[in-house]
Structure 1
Amino acid sequence: MTFRFIHSSDWHLAKPFRRFEPALAGELAAARLGIIGRLAKIARERGARHILVAGDVFDSELIATVEIRRALAQLAEESDLSWLLLPGNHDPLRLSGVWDQVSRIGVPANVTVLSRAAPQAFGNDAMLLPAPVTSKDPGRDITEWMDAAATPAGAARIGLAHGSVRGFGSDDDAALRMAPDRAKRAGLAYLALGDWHGAARISADTWYSGTPEPDQFPDNEPGFALAVTVEGSQLVSVEKVPTAEFTWLRLERAVHSLAELGVIERDVRTAAGTLAKTLVRLSLGGHLSLADRAALDVWREDWTARLRRLEIDDKRLTVTSGSLDFESLGLAGPLLEAAKHLAAMSSDPANAESDAAATALLRLAGFAAEGRREAP
């Protein structure tokens, strides 16, 4: 019999996003809560009735009651689907933790908190083997019990765990280590993992789903859920399905002319779903003329308005200046003389005021570039 389910993890609900301004932090937190509805839609489209969440449902053990109630209410709204939630290292299953609050509030009928390391019936002819996290440093492989776990003959054995397989990186606590061949040892059709925030294939039958909604500028592949199909006791397929509302891009570029900013614009447009839902961290190296460096500031303002957030690190970007730069900016008279003086100061490494002069020169050039842009 064909059995389909959705594998997700690392929702980190109620993450505060303190480094951002309140408006953006609120939007990002709302996008994380919206994960529930997006996963429900994916499940229905693929004929899946169960969503497995491999740990870190909540961002921490100390979550405001209203945030927990919001999450439970959203899950209850998707009443035709079964949600199986595994405690992770951010929200471990221990006394007075977030799962105690969940229990006191009341778990919806379509939600199961996986609080025991014991086989559990799961769909038709499938058994779920969960490994809930009860400590940030258990001092053992919490999936080891799966090897000897008894399940009915012919049933598909599905493992669910949170942590880092040996030899593979972890976003959080490296103390949660698991054998990379646990699926083979335990006869699992599939091992659903959480903790690593990017979708990743460890082996044909062992996958990290990654977080469905990115929360930082990544170097992995966040923003997916995995649609898994099992036939009998054998894995058939694993499909990566996009889930993210926001796009986070980290770009590193060397530029030597203003025209090369067009290439950056093209790359952003290609990667972004919607510019207004895209956050970009851009690291710039290379060198620009004074005129182009001034124009870069104008470009920055323009694209800050287009994107939801733009961060530019230009510490490695050097600036050259000369008479042609001054002329192209339309500087004349006292302003031209001031620019020449600042250029001389900024290019003299022995001058203690060289950095301040460089900053002043760029501001002067920026004012001139903006003035020329706004001129009729």
Structure 2
Amino acid sequence: MNSLTVLHAADLHVGLRFLSHGEASQPLSAARFEVVDRVVEAASQASADILVLAGDLFDRTRIAKTDIERVCESLAGFSGACVLVLPGNHDYFSPESALWSDFCREAGEHVLLLAETGPYRLDDYGLPCDVWAAPCTSKTSSQHVLPTELPATRHPGRFQLGVAHGSLIGVSPDPKLQYYPMTREDLDATGVDIWLLGHTHVPWPEIPDPGIRVYNPGTPEPDGFDYTRSGGVFLHTLLLPEVDSSDESRPESRRAQLTSRFIATGQFRFEHHERTITGVPAEDFLSDIPDHTDAAKTCVRLRVHGRIDPDSRTRYHALRDELRARLLLLEVDESELHTRITADTIGDHFPSASFPAELLTRLSEDGDDEAMDQAFRLLEQVKGS
């Protein structure tokens, strides 16, 4: 066997509850289970030999047994040789945790929990492959847990995989270096064919490159407004080079050749939009939202600013509510949307011959809306004091 195909996923976060998302929380939570099925299906359709889940399969260490059973039923559908599951920093491994004991009890024989650094030899699954693992044992850590006893020389005819979960310095947002930080230099120095990472929910690299041997697929299903693209997984194909087994002079030439591609698996999308209103909102000023083709599976965070005519408020609210009805979730920031101060507004609040009315009228004629807004608020405060 000189080729190996690996479907690489991470950060599925089964059990994530989306408590701040209102009515959208139920479908978003259900999507964490559904994406397990899609990842397994993608791996089987690609004829992958191994399905790797590189950490945070679960969102926390306390998961209902029925949810664990459901995940294991999904993993049983993988048609390849084995599924490798690494504990991440959300579902970290500890001997006292019921999560992984329940998981191992329910999972089939083709599922292997990477609870130690290894190496794990996959010969029992019919694969000439050694796996080196870096499981998480707590929520945070300032030190990575990369194996320290990697082989000094390559073993001819065998693949070498590394699986780890943590931040990649220079790529992951981890300013305090508290999530098992790693560097590409540390990972490359181990000499394995490829490191399969998890933790960062955005895929890296954005464009697969055969010269890169460190990959992070991101989450296969978007899970918040920090992630505005489609979720997915990486499919890696490794090919062992034909070399003289007695020649140890060029260890790099003995690493497997690598090709990778990204496969989209996410169904939900999170989008950011911004709109400006000047006077009267156009009938179609929200019609191009969302970008995603399936509005019912799209969550939108909308920022609206500008100055709206008083008589147009009702129309704006109707257009906004029509958009909300199309979407799964709409969050609107209207903190910078002001009602335009008109002559009628001035007349309703101040006598026509008064100083406030004359001042505001003069500012209105000058077209200085910002100064007029500030003056109007101050005059209202003085009047009410």
Structure 1 position 87, deviation (Å): 0.2
Residue 28 of structure 1: how far off its partner (Å): 1.3
For 1:150 and 1:93, locate their aligned partners in 2 and report how far apart those are by CA, in whole Å.
30
State whether structure 2 residue 348 is matched by structure 1 residue 341: yes
Which residue identity is paired with 2:266? A
Secondary structure at 2:287 match in 1: helix
Residues 70 and 257 of structure 1, relative CA distance in 2, 3 Å threshold: farther
Give the Å deviation of 1:90. 0.6
Q: Check 1:304–1:259 CA distance in 2 against 1; reply closer, same or farther (3 A cut).
A: same
Task: Establish whether residue 308 from structure 1 lines up as the match of residue 328 from structure 2.
Answer: yes
Residue 195 of structure 2 corresponds to 191
Q: Structure 1 residue 143: deviation in Å?
A: 1.4
Tell me what 1:60 maps to: 60
Letter in 2 for 1:133: C
1:314 and 1:185 map into 2 onto residues whose CA distance is 51
Distance 1:153 1:39 in 2: 31
Question: What are the residue-to-residue correspondences of 1:125-140 with 2, within 5 Å?
Answer: 125-140=128-143
Contact 2:231 2:266 in 1 (8 A): yes
Q: Which residue of 1 aligns with 2:303?
A: 283
The reply to whether residue 215 of structure 1 matches residue 223 of structure 2 is: yes
CA distance in 1, matches of 2:136, 2:88: 5
Quote the residue 1:361 is aligned against: none
In structure 2, the residue matched to 1:160 is 163
Residue of structure 1 in register with 2:34 after alignment:
34
Kindly state the Cα deviation for residue 81 of structure 1 after the two structures are TM-superposed.
5.7
C-alpha displacement at 1:53, in angstroms?
0.7
Equivalents in 2 of 1:354, 1:236: separation in Å? 74
* Residue 18 (structure 2) pairs with residue 17 (structure 1): yes
166-175 or 81-90, which deviates more: 166-175
- Give 1:296 deviation, angstroms: 2.0
* Partner residue, 1:360: none
> What does the per-residue CA deviation read over 1:165-218, in whole Å, with 9 as the maximum and x for residues that have no partner?
223324798241112223320112211111111112297211211111111112
Do the aligned partners of 1:281 and 1:310 also contact (CA within 8 Å) in 2? yes
* 2:270/2:299 contact within 8 Å kept: yes
- Aligned pairs for 1:1-376 (under 5 A) are 1-21=2-22, 23-78=23-78, 80=80, 82-97=82-97, 98-103=99-104, 105-122=105-122, 124-145=127-148, 147-148=150-151, 152-170=155-173, 174-201=178-205, 204-219=212-227, 221=229, 223-232=231-240, 233-256=255-278, 262=284, 265-266=287-288, 268=290, 271-322=291-342, 341=348, 347-352=376-381
Instruction: Check 1:351–1:258 CA distance in 2 against 1; reply closer, same or farther (3 A cut).
Output: closer
Distance 1:2 1:288, change over 3 A: farther
For normalisation by structure 1, the TM-score amounts to: 0.79
SS of 2:306's partner is strand
* Structure 2 spans left out of the alignment, 5+ residues: 241-254, 351-356, 361-372
Letter in 1 for 2:53: V
Which residue identity does 1:189 align to in structure 2?
D
Shift in Å at residue 79 of structure 1? 5.2
Q: Which shifted more, 172-181 or 183-192?
A: 172-181
Distance apart, 1:248 and its partner CA: 1.2
Structure 1 vs Structure 2 CA RMSD: 3.1
SS of the equivalent of 2:380 reads coil
> Shift in Å at residue 151 of structure 1?
5.9
The amino acid of 2:333's aligned partner reads D
Deviation at 1:94, TM superposition (A): 0.1
Q: Is the CA contact 1:144–1:182 (under 8 Å) kept in the aligned structure 2?
A: no
User: Residues 151 and 33 of structure 1: is their aligned pair in 2 closer, same or farther, counting only changes over 3 Å?
Assistant: farther
The AA in structure 1 aligned to 2:18 is F
CA-CA distance at 1:257 after TM superposition:
6.1
For residue 118 of structure 1, what is the amino acid of its counterpart? G
Cα shift at 1:251: 2.4
**Cα distance change on mapping 1:80 and 1:214 into 2, 3 Å:** same
Residue 116 of structure 1 deviates from its aligned partner by 1.5
CA distance in 2, matches of 1:354, 1:280: 40
The answer as to whether partners of 1:121 and 1:127 remain within 8 angstroms in 2 is yes
Aligned residue pairs, count = 338
Q: What is the alpha-carbon distance in structure 1 between the residues aligned to residue 265 and residue 57 of structure 2? A: 16
Calculate the TM-score normalised by the size of structure 2.
0.78
Q: 1:43 to 1:342 in 2, by over 3 A?
A: farther
| Shift in Å, 1:57 | 0.8
Aligned counterpart, 1:332: none
Asked if the contact 2:10–2:53 (Cα under 8 Å) also holds between the matched residues in 1, the reply is: yes
> Residue type matched to 1:204 in 2?
I
Q: Partners in 2 of 1:291 and 1:258 — Cα distance?
A: 9
Whether the 8 Å contact between 1:284 and 1:316 is mirrored in structure 2 is yes
Normalized per residue, the structure richer in helix is 1
Q: Mark the CA change 1:293 to 1:84 in structure 2 (over 3 Å): closer, same or farther.
A: same
Q: String of CA shifts for 1:11-32, please: whole Å, max 9, x gaps.
A: 11111221233x5322112111
Q: Distance in 2 between matches of 1:182 and 1:205?
A: 12
Instruction: Describe the SS at the equivalent of 1:165.
Output: coil
Shifted more, 242-251 versus 132-141: the winner is 132-141
